[in-house]
Amino acid sequence: MNSTKLSSDHRLILRYNLQHTLPGETSSAKALEASISNLQSILEPWIRDGMLVPKNVLGYVLSKNYQSGISLQNLCGKDILVVNQLKEVCTCTGSNFELYLSRIKKKASGPTASSGYGYYGYGQSGDENHVMEEVEEESLHITKLVNLNGEALRADAANFDYENLINDDPFDGASTDEEDYDDDDGYMTKHYRASMVVLIPRASRFQFILGKLGSWDNDRNECVLKYMADLGNITSESSSADWEEMKKVCELVLARSESDRRSNVLSGFSYKVYLLVISSIIDLDDKVLLERTLPTCFSGPEYQPLVAKLREKNGPLWVLASGIRAELYISTVRNFANRCETIETLSQYQVETGWSFTQYELALSSRAPSLCVSDVAQLIKVAKVLPEKRIIETFLPTIKLCLNKHQMLCSILTHISRSLSLSDRTPQSLDLVFKEIWSGNINRLETLNPRDWPGDISFAEGQAGYDSRYPPDSAWPQRKYWNVAFVVCRAYQRGMTLELELFFRRLCHQVQSAQLDSFNDKFMPFLKALVDSIRNVIPIAFKAPLFKQLFQTIVSSYAIRYHADKPVKPQGWTRDIRGCNSNCSDCNLLDEALLDPTRKKFVFYLNAQRRQHLESRIFSDVQNRLIKTSVVKDRSPHGLVMEKTGDVFAHIFRIWSLLAKETMLRIEMLGEDVIEILPRRTLLQSYLNTEPPQNSKNPLHPRLWLPPVAIRLVALA
């Protein structure tokens, strides 16, 4: 366009975006007004009948694909006219539609046929050209959704159906943007991209924007936050349409949330989304929706502003003022611990006396069959707050079935004992529970099985103490017996001597037939744990006949039954018989050589099989370095040389001494409080059968080291 230069004033230049129109078409203002009126009359039935259009969405593919950026400002040509007319309809009075822009991708797949090869010369090859024979599968997918200003609402929105397109076939004759070919299947996939304007009823816009978002989608939370920010805060001056829209948004978010089965806490969106949604529910004053969100309100400190808002709006007793059915909500919480925590939280908003007691009883009765050791800590917390009457009438009968499990029984006794030790003032109800359970189940505690008792119990109540993720170490049984001993001390403090006498009597009965491993791994560690507990809790109990008899019985049985008499050195020989106790001539010769105190070395000329037989007879002596063997080949058959290199009696005495040392060390570990009450004539009487060796400070043997306490015991005996 050419123009002359101006010497003064200004020139107005109008630039037109012209397009060719069909004969009879016009773009006059009057025609445009009629067109908009026509379009509005077409959309009115859709407003009245929400099911008129499948999935409540329509799309119109624009004539140009706007790759750099899509917004109303960037549109050109016919696309401006179409979108502006739709925008005019959406802003008309009484219209309930929203307009968005989007990018859409079409994917078409099908088998291919070869179009032949080009000429490449000898030994050369090239890519083959493929032509799709037919389309077997095709789909439309919205890859980006924006508002008219170009602000992204979400990416990867959802699939889009062909029946929701206004255009007949917008991709007919279009060139592909990308092609993929699979050599194995012979399939080709073609990708087409275009821009589209989307028309959605206002009532369905949020559901369309949220689409099929899963918890893994990155823009899930941003989509909800941005949409609710556009809606704004709900106040008394807001329109009824805004109220309804906000309610639908809240309902949809709750419907898309995943509720934790144990606590009913909402999950799937960020806490910022739930803060905004629940705050809107409070503004809406919707009691039904608020009940569904209560577990989330009490699930963490980040939601405390919601509780503060409820209290500010409805007063201290906001649960009652809001009309929330607390009992109905509590009944939906499946996990026992979470249910009790909910009762404790909501009880501060109740005015009815005993409301929490009744709710605890309902929780117990409904969850009693499924209670396990992980619920014990919470059971103890409930028992602390219940009055004595409810303990007798409800609590004890309800948990009676649970006590059939040994681990449950032992865990409850342990937790109560620990709880009593942590309290300066013993709750009477907890004391009652301990006495009833101990006295009523003492017959079932006849075996001392460490697997029935919990291990480490955190002072922060809530841990079961039966952690099986890691294999038990050497200290594992000892930790178990500490809890058993602690329970015993608590029972003695409560004056339950008859039950303890029965418990100790059965332990002593087990001792009479116990193997050595049981003493080392069970009874002696239990005594050590019991001594430590008595020393820390009730030191005066060492003088009680009940405990004195227990210590004397177990320690005496351990020392006498499993420690042999002191070995006596033979007078005329220094070796044991090693023969096979038969008429075997070779074994008889071997025994003669072993019994002869004057001969230190022997040679047996035998064939290989007979030599091997003798070697098997003296194998243990060779292992203990009491005999040394070799083979001489100075004649045939070869000779087996047997040389005495050690004293058999010294070896036997050394083993006996080590066992005596171990026994006395285990006894000394119990401490002088126990050693003073042990029977001195019974204990270690086997050590006094012979005179001690001459010039020995140790009354047992100069090579045997014993603790000072053990030496003093022998001297006193």
Mean pLDDT score, 618-635: 84
Query: Has residue 710 got a pLDDT over 60?
Result: no
Per-position DSSP letters for 403-453, written without gaps between them: GGSHHHHHHHHHHHHHHHHH-SS--HHHHHHHHHHHHHSGGGG-S--GGGS
Residue 576: predicted pLDDT: 62
Contact indicator for 138, 107 with CB cutoff of 8 Å? yes
Residue 470: predicted pLDDT: 38
Q: Helices 428-440 and 476-493, interaxial angle, to 10°?
A: 110
- Of residues 687 and 66, which shows the higher confidence score? 66
- Of residues 518 and 495, which shows the higher confidence score? 495
Closest CA to 297 of 271, 261, 321, 332: 271
Query: Has residue 476 got a pLDDT over 50?
Result: no
Considering only 211-225, 227-241, 359-373, 387-401, which range has the smallest mean pLDDT?
211-225
| Range picked from 46-60, 107-121, 541-555, 642-656 for highest mean pLDDT | 541-555
Q: Please give the Cα distance from 39 to 36 (Å, whole number).
A: 5
Mean pLDDT for all residues in the chain: 76
Question: What digits encode the pLDDT tens for the residues 14-49?
Answer: 766 665 555 455 555 555 666 677 777 777 777 667
Contact indicator for 205, 241 with CB cutoff of 8 Å? no
Residue 294: predicted pLDDT: 79
Residue 460: predicted pLDDT: 37
Percent share of the chain, pLDDT over 70: 75
Contact indicator for 161, 142 with CB cutoff of 8 Å? no
Neighbours of 154 (CB within 10 A): 23
Q: Please give the Cα distance from 268 to 253 (Å, whole number).
A: 9
Q: Please give the Cα distance from 635 to 638 (Å, whole number).
A: 6
CA distances from 10 to 5, 186, 420 (A): 10, 67, 97
Q: Please give the Cα distance from 299 to 263 (Å, whole number).
A: 9
Contact indicator for 281, 311 with CB cutoff of 8 Å? no
Q: Please give the Cα distance from 103 to 83 (Å, whole number).
A: 15
SS3 of residue 643 by DSSP: strand
pTM of the model: 0.53
Question: What digits encode the pLDDT tens for the residues 127-140?
Answer: 556 777 788 888 88
Residue 430: predicted pLDDT: 85
Query: Has residue 627 got a pLDDT over 80?
Result: yes
Closest CA to 192 of 143, 147, 154, 130: 143
Residue 562: predicted pLDDT: 64
DSSP state of 271: H
Mean pLDDT score, 672-701: 52
Mean pLDDT score, 638-662: 78
Model confidence band, residue 659 (pLDDT cutoffs 50, 70, 90): confident
Considering only 24-38, 143-157, 284-298, 391-405, which range has the smallest mean pLDDT?
24-38
Residue 48: which residues within 8 A CB-CB, separation 6 or more? none
Mean pLDDT score, 471-484: 60
Closest CA to 402 of 421, 386, 378: 378
Closest CA to 157 of 143, 147, 172, 171: 143
Residue 442: predicted pLDDT: 85
Closest CA to 319 of 282, 360, 358: 282
Question: What digits encode the pLDDT tens for the residues 311-360?
Answer: 787 777 766 655 566 777 777 777 888 888 888 887 777 767 788 888 88
Residue 323 sits at φ, ψ, to 5 deg, of 75, 20
Residue 554: which residues within 8 A CB-CB, separation 6 or more? 507, 508, 511, 523, 524, 527
Torsion region of 209: left, alpha or beta (phi above 0 gives left; psi -120 to 50 gives alpha): alpha
Residue 22: which residues within 8 A CB-CB, separation 6 or more? none
Contact indicator for 105, 140 with CB cutoff of 8 Å? yes
Neighbours of 333 (CB within 10 A): 23
Q: Please give the Cα distance from 669 to 683 (Å, whole number).
A: 16
Q: Please give the Cα distance from 574 to 468 (Å, whole number).
A: 53
Residue 463: predicted pLDDT: 44
Q: For residue 517, what are its two tokens? A: 């491993």
Residue 237: which residues within 8 A CB-CB, separation 6 or more? none
Residue 426: predicted pLDDT: 60
Query: Has residue 690 got a pLDDT over 50?
Result: no
Question: 3-class secondary structure for 36-86?
Answer: HHHHHHHHHHHHHCCCCCHHHCEEEECCCCCCCCCCHHHCCCHHHHHHHHH
Residue 459: predicted pLDDT: 39
Residue 408: predicted pLDDT: 87
